[in-house]
Structure 1
Amino acid sequence: MSEIISRTKIRVLYADTDAGGVVYHANYLRYFEAGRAEYMRERISSYRSVEERGFILPLTESWLRYKAPAFYDDLLIVETTIEAVTPIKCTFQYKIYRQEDNGSEKLLVKGYTVHVAITREGKLTQLPEDMLQKIARYASKTDRIFPSSRQ
């Protein structure tokens, strides 16, 4: 399956930077969230629609590798893909690039986040079958989509 990528543009605000003049490290997780929300909205369902169905997808794991800093007013491009999905969780991968003045893109950060499906009461639940099938269409690792009990 070919990888389906969503590209979300974000302009770095002054409030995103720290005393050193670079984007504060935790803000990259916000940028991941923006990319993930757009990916979901474009291909699967908005997070609002997910919540209206009675469950949420909280982040349970994250990993980031910093390659180069971003600065105030940089134009960033967040590339988002779905790596894998199971009936209860999905893993998103990200790459954040800076759009350079010459039009090229410089890789700044890469990482992933893992999200599990829970009810509003905080109990682990399975993704609805229709949503699972939509997400599975875009997962790059199809061998991890379903455990043998759901095949």
Structure 2
Amino acid sequence: MSSATHVMPLRVRYVECDMQGRVFNAHYLTWVDMAHSEAVRDIAGGYDAMTEAGIDVVVAAAELSFRRPALFDDELVVEVRLAAPGNTSLRSEFAILRADELIAECVMTHVCVDTGTFGKSPWPAWLRDRLAEHA
């Protein structure tokens, strides 16, 4: 993946592996969520800055494709690439890599919501501008 907004390194922990010695599938979404949180921290000052401004995000969709198994003690990176924000949504693409080998890919759509009602809310101009700079 080129033009990554953020790159998060990680090492596979034993607890993340199943009886087959491979990373259990649900952990990939955890890693994607962690990488997204780090990207939001870099771009917007983190989720605290967003919630203090009265907005939050919820996951509307996630699509995960497995290419190769990740194994205990593998050194991986999760690359994040953002699309230009929509009115209320943000599409993010993730690549999980072991060196140059693609392990998994994920596409997530987050929706901006009001922290009081959890109803859809347009991105505030300050955040839309910051997200667009990283798209």
Deviation, 1:37, is 1.3
Deviation, 1:12, is 0.9
Equivalent position of 2:81 in the other structure: 81
Equivalent position of 1:146 in the other structure: none
How far does the alpha carbon of each residue in 1:125-144 deviate from its partner, in whole angstroms, 9 at most, with x for none?
Answer: 111111001111122xxxxx
Report 1:1-151 matches (<5 A). 3-99=3-99, 105-120=100-115, 121-139=117-135
How far does the alpha carbon of each residue in 1:80-111 deviate from its partner, in whole angstroms, 9 at most, with x for none?
Answer: 01023112010110000013xxxxx2110011
- Across the aligned residues of Structure 1 and Structure 2, the Cα RMSD in angstroms comes to 1.5
Consecutive unaligned residues in structure 1, runs of 5 or more: 100-104, 140-151
Contact 1:58 1:115 in 2 (8 A): yes
Contact 2:4 2:79 in 1 (8 A): no
Contact 2:44 2:127 in 1 (8 A): yes
Match of 1:3, as an amino acid? Answer: S
Identity %: 24
Match of 1:7, as an amino acid? Answer: V
Contact 2:4 2:81 in 1 (8 A): yes
TM-score of the pair, normalised by structure 2: 0.91
How far does the alpha carbon of each residue in 1:52-100 deviate from its partner, in whole angstroms, 9 at most, with x for none?
Answer: 222211111001111000011111100001023112010110000013x
TM-score of the pair, normalised by structure 1: 0.82
Q: Secondary structure at the match of 2:103?
A: strand
Contact 2:44 2:50 in 1 (8 A): no
